[in-house]
Structure 1
Amino acid sequence: MQAKVKKLIFIAVLLTGCIITSLISTNDKAKALPGDSILQSAQSAVTSKAAQAKIVRVQVSGAVLEPGIYDVPASCRVEEAIAAAGGLTENADSERVNLVRKVRDGMQIRVPVQKAARTSRTQRKKAQVKSDLGESALGKSGSTKAGAEKNNSAVQSVRINSASASELQQLPGIGPALAQRIVETRKNGRFTSADDLLRVPGIGKAKLAKLRDYVEVD
């Protein structure tokens, strides 16, 4: 009987010791938690500040008010980088840009122009090119026409039976060689009409048609 009592007392003491040890361990953990939480919060704040303090360089181009290269916090988004570049223009196509994407060092952010604006700009360029080409062609045509009129007005009627070789060269299409042939041909018989010029080697019907209005038979 006494042995059983001793055994029960031993078990009771052992259980009491376990309970006390468990309570002490729990109390130590409870005391340690606030300190750990504060330490973790401090470390997180330091990390966050370090991330914010880090600067990256990005290029913003396209439909923004002030395209260029900007230094921005590493934690910022594309939207903030665009804001640093003055914001979007009226014809910017923001639907084709991921504004919430995080930026990275060396990143190029290009904001496209709306399709309608691009089409309108292309049409204006084409219209300008056509206008320039038209004015150029008109200028050339007018210049050619004016030159022809000037040349025609400068040619006076030439008497083919008495004109010298140099005077005959004033006729359209008549050079030194052909002028000399006219002189040699009329030695064999005077020209009685403009059609007699067909006797001259090198003068055909086409050339005669150009000369007819500028020759006189004396």
Structure 2
Amino acid sequence: MSFSRTLQTKTWIKIIVGIVFAGIVLILFLERFEGDDEWNTLVAEPVEPLEIQLPIDEEIPVPLNLTIEIAGEVHHPYVYEVPIGSRVIDGIDAAGGLTESADTRNTNLAALLVDGMKVYIPSKEEVNAVEVKTGIKAGTSYVGGNTSLNTEATQEESSKVNINTADLTRLQTLNGVGPATAEKIITYRTDKGPYKTIADIKKVSGIGDKTFEKLKDHITVE
């Protein structure tokens, strides 16, 4: 009976000692993390939300004016800025208007201006000189952004075929040039660039010296 009580007493002592030991370990564990600055910082300080700034599209300035040159028979020939959508008559007004010598019979005053355009107003003497020389009324044309006096007679006066601009039908009007050769002439200038001289046409396959002799007086590159 005495032995049984002794055993129970020892068992309870072990349980109590175990509880006390576990409590001490827990206390030490908590004290360790309470003194850890990194742990405290991690737990105590909230994480601030990340701010993301999206790029703002920059507005691209849109030009409001055109820069043009007005030359010839106007009071103040010069370079002017005019609003987009302006016409030839507006450019003439910007240059002070027409002189008494100006001839606009064949000038399209309603034509729209484009940036970089040069508008040339011929005089009556210039126009009359062209008409007297050729017997054909002179006109105006828009080439490469420029408006200038153009003798339409130049095109009709000369029957030469421009090998840099002629189409298949026009090329076939040349003596010795059929559909196949005409196609080759166009293909060459498309791939290699415009002909610099009329002799360059001999670089086209099928056109030799004999054919060139037949063509040279009837073709041009201008």
More strand by share: 2
TM-score, normalized by length of structure 1? 0.30
More helix by share: 1
Larger Rg: 1
TM-score, normalized by length of structure 2? 0.29
